[in-house]
Amino acid sequence: MIIKTAEFSVSNSDYRKCPAPNIPEYAFIGRSNVGKSSLINMLCNHKELARTSSSPGKTQLINHFIINKNWFLVDLPGYGYAKISKTSRAKWMKMVSDYLTMRPNLMSVFVLIDSRIPPQDIDIEFINNLGMWQVPFAIIFTKRDKSSEVKMENLVEEYKAKLAETWEEFPPYFISSAIKKIGREEILNYIGEVNKLFKQ
Ligand code: GDP
């Protein structure tokens, strides 16, 4: 897929105020610092479409971007911040779970996982919640440039073993690097294929 246009649409904290669900939509989520903003910017060929963690006052909102005027890319607030209160976590959970379960045009969630880190409970828990909510998802292993071929393969195997405890099948997965621009075509082509399945 060629990206012709990528524009910010709207940010909010309530799925009811999200844009009309009349085109397919893909949400990106992961632990803070996983490389989500860098990946979104890499996919869209845009230096600062999504704001990186270094931007001050980065807000905890559902951010919609419209791509090629025919699908939405959604940047969801990440999880796993070290210093987060129980109240903020509960607020995040309500906002994200409402959004994930109430968007009829949500074709897939991309769960981002840092290639360098062995399976963490917080990511597995989130993936298992997606199962409970019956939300389709794929995994993107980020920062591929930071790990060797062997380490990368081992990590995927570890995830396969871990998810086999609760899942019958391993989801579609991609390996990416925002720095080396790895995985861009694969992810965009996948989105292009899934777009064809969208029915209003
Ligand atoms: P976010 O918090 O998930 O949005 O993560 P960011 O995109 O802000 O990235 C967090 C940190 O990881 C920053 O220091 C990035 O420069 C770095 N980073 C992001 N993607 C990559 C990547 O593909 N390779 C490497 N080596 N570093 C990355």
Task: Give pTM, 2 decimals.
Answer: 0.96
> How much distance in Å is there from the Cα of 54 to the middle of ligand 1?
10
Mean pLDDT of 79-89: 83
Overall average pLDDT of the 27-33 stretch = 95
Q: Specify whether the CB–CB gap between 172 and 190 falls below 8 A.
A: yes
pLDDT over threshold 60, residue 190: yes
Q: Give the lowest-confidence range in 8-22, 81-95, 125-139.
A: 81-95
Of 124, 110, 92, 112, the residue nearest 13 (C-alpha)? 92
The upper half-sphere exposure of residue 72, i.e. CA atoms within 13 Å in the direction of its Cβ, equals 26
Report whether pLDDT(103) > 80. Answer: yes
pLDDT score recorded for residue 80: 86
When pLDDT is cut at 50, 70 and 90, the band that residue 47 belongs to is: confident
Residues with CB under 6 A from ligand 1: 30, 32-38, 52-53, 78, 142-143, 145-146, 177-179
How far is Cα 86 from Cα 67, in angstroms, rounded to an integer?
Answer: 35
Cα gap 60→92, rounded to integer Å: 8
- Residue nearest atom 27 in ligand 1 by C-alpha distance: 143
| Residue written as token pair 């009811």 | 16
Average pLDDT of span 49-75: 82
